Amino acid sequence: MTMDSILLNGSGTADAVRYPLDPLSGAEIEAAATIVKESEFVSDTVKFVMIQLAEPDKTATLTFADAADVPRRAFITMYDPAAKMVYEAVVDIGARTVDSWTPIPGRFPSYLVEHMTGVEEVVRADPQWQEAMRKRGVTDFDLAMIDPWPAGYYGAQDHYENSPLICRPLTFMRAAPSEHGYARPVEGLIVTFDLDAMAVLEIEDHGVVPLPPKAGNYTARYMFDEDNRPAFTQFRDDVKTIEITQPDGPSFTVDGWKVQWQKWSLRVGFNPREGLTLHEVTYTDRGTVRPVMYRAALSEMVVPYGDTSPTHWNKNVFDMGEVGMGFSANPLTLGCDCLGEIFYFDGTVHDSDGNAVVIPNAICMHEEDYGISWKHTDFRTGEVEVRRSRRLVISMICTVGNYEYGFFWYLYNDASIEMEVKLSGVLTTGSIPEGELPRWGKLVAPGIYGPNHQHFFNFRLDMTVDGPNNSVYEVDSIPEPDPGLNPHHNAWIAKDTLVASEAHGARDWNWSTGRYWKVVNPSKVNELGSPVGYKLMPRDPVPVMVQEGSYIYDRARFVQHNLWVTKYDPAEKFAAGDYMYQSADAQGLPEYIADDAPLENTDIVLWYTVGAHHIVCPEDWPVMPCHYTGFKMKPVGFFDGNPALDLPPSPPKACHSH
C-alpha cells in the first residue's frame, strides 16, 4: 500500500476537512492504532478486531453545522488471546489520547483477518485430519479447501472461563487446483480449532461418505473438456449488447461522502462491521429540506440450517457480527456489477496489527431507469401524459465463504426508499451416498445435496420523519366492524394501532389484514390535517423455522418478530448484541425493550427483519441465480400530492422502435 492511498479517504478525496460522520480514513485508522499501541493499556499480544468511527452524538438539528468543532474519534475493539479478553477503547485522534478503556470479560470477538487463511494451512498439516482424508481416498491434501466456519454454540463447553476462541472448519475437495471445491464436500468430518493458539483441538469423524462424482464447474475456463466438447453448456449467441449511456453525465453530485441526487441528500458511510451505511437522509420539498432517516444500515444477519446431521446441525452463522460485512466487501468491477455512469467509493478497513487496508470500489453508485412512474391517457381527447421512474442505486456486495450477499439501497424520484438483498454464490453442500435421498434437504446433483436453511437480515432504521420526534402505528385492513354501517358486506377500514411502548414493540406481520407499519410526526401535519409519515411495506415475509430449545433460538432472538420498535439509544446498534460469538445469551433486542420505554412522540428506531426461505433445487447449482428479498419505505401523507408530478417528460429520442 502506498502512502498516497493511506492519506486518501474512502471517496478518494484528501483528508483536509472531514465531516463528523465521514468514515475513518486510512491515516486516521493507523493513527488510532498507534495511539493505543503507545498507551499504557496494551500488551504485545493485543490484536485489533475493529477500528471504526466513534460517531458523535446526534444533534437537535440532525446535522452538524461546523465540522471543525467535532473531534474525530475512533471506536476500537481489540482481543488479547493471551488474556482471553476483549477490550473496547475510544481514541481522540486529534488529541492523541485514549478517552476510555473497557475490558469486556466473558465475550468473544469476531474473526481476525489472519484467521481466514491461517486455519486452512494448519488443518491441512494435521496428522489426524490427514488420516481421515486418506480414509476417503484423498492423498493430495493441497487440493483441499478448508473453510473456517464460526463455531456457533454447542453448549456450556463453548463458553467458560479461559475458553479459547474457536471455530469449526469444514473440508471440501477440489479435483484440480482451480475447480469448484464446493462440489465435493467432505461429509462427517468436523474440526474444532483453537484460534488463539492457531492449533487443532479435536477431529470428529462420523463416518465416510463417498465424495460426489460430478464437477460443479461454471467458469469460462471449463467451457470445453479436453476433447473440445461442451463441458456444461455453451454461451448463448443471441444476446445483443446493451449500453447504458448518459450523454450529459449522471444526475447526482458527490462532495466527499455527501451525495445529492435530484431532491435527495444523504451521506454514505462504511465500516468493517456493517459495511455500507447511510446517514442524514433528507428530501427537499418545495424548497424545504425535510429529514426522513438519520441512519440506516444492516444490523445483523444469521443463517440457521435445518439439517440435524453432524456436519450441518450447528451451522448458524452471524455473518456480520462474527465476520464483518465491511471486511467481506468485494472490490466491484466496472461493467459487471453495475452498468452506466458509475461513481465508486473505496472502503478502508485494517489488519489485526492496525494497518489500513483499502478495498477499491467497495461501494457502487449509479442511476437506473425503473419503468413508468405514472401515466394517464385521456381517451376523450387522446392526450397522453407519462413519466418514467428513475432510482439512485447505492450498493455493496459481500462474499462470506461460499455465499454472496448484495445490499442495494434504492432512492426513487417519487420519494420512496427501498432496500433489496440479493443472494447468490454457492450453496453450502453435503454429500450423500448415491441412491439415497436427504431428509433435511434436496439433491442438486448426483451425490450432493443442499440442506434446508434460511437467511435473516435485520436492518436498523433510525427514523427522523420531518424531525426527531416520531410515533409508530400498526395499520390493519379489516372488515367494517359495525354491521349497521356495512349493509352490503363490502366495506372495510384501515385501523391504526399506536405502538405505545417498548413492551409492545415486537410486532409480527399479518397476511390476513395486509399489515404494514407507519412512522408519523405528530407535530407536523399535511394540508389535510393528517400527521406526515412514511410507511414500511413488507416484501415476501417468510415463516421462521428456528425452534425453541435450539441454541440458535436464544442467540438470534431478533428473527422471532418481523419488526421491533425501540426508543433511540446510541449504544443499541446490533440486533443480536455486540458479541454473540460462542454465546447462548439472549442479547440485543430482547434487552433493548426490557425497560419498556415510551415510544409516542419520541426519537424512535425501527428494526426490521427480512428473510429468505431456501429449499434448494437443481437450478440453484452450481452457482445460484440471484434470490431477492427486502422492504420498501413509502411516503404516506408526507406530501400534499404526488411528489413525482414535476418529473419532466422523456424526450422522443429516448425511445426507439423497429
How far is the C-alpha of 543 from the C-alpha of 545, rounded, in Å? 6
Q: What 3-state DSSP class applies to 591?
A: helix
- Residue 417: CB partners within 8 Å, gap ≥ 6? 281, 292, 293, 409, 410, 411, 534, 632, 633
Q: What is the pLDDT of residue 284?
A: 98
Q: What is the pLDDT of residue 153?
A: 76
**What pTM was estimated for this model as a whole?**
0.94
User: Residue 587 is placed in which grid cell?
Assistant: 442479547
Q: What 3-state DSSP class applies to 455?
A: strand
User: Residue 410 is placed in which grid cell?
Assistant: 434504492
| Fold of the domain built from segment(s) 106-240 | Nuclear Transport Factor 2; Chain: A, (3.10.450)
Domain range summary for the chain, segments of one domain joined by +: 26-104, 106-240, 295-467+500-513+534-636
| Fold of the domain built from segment(s) 26-104 | Nuclear Transport Factor 2; Chain: A, (3.10.450)
Instruction: Please list the active-site residues.
Output: 319, 403
Of 322, 401, 324, nearest to 110 by C-alpha is 322
**Segment holding 359, helix H or strand E:** strand 356-378
How far is the C-alpha of 104 from the C-alpha of 578, rounded, in Å? 11
- Give pLDDT < 50 ranges for the chain: 1-15, 225-227
Q: What 3-state DSSP class applies to 6?
A: helix
Class of domain 295-467+500-513+534-636: mainly beta
Q: What is the pLDDT of residue 215?
A: 83
Asked if the domains 26-104 and 106-240 are classified in one and the same CATH topology, the answer is yes
Q: What is the pLDDT of residue 335?
A: 67
CA 228 to chain CA centroid, nearest Å? 42
Residue 23, preceding peptide bond in cis (omega within 30° of 0): no
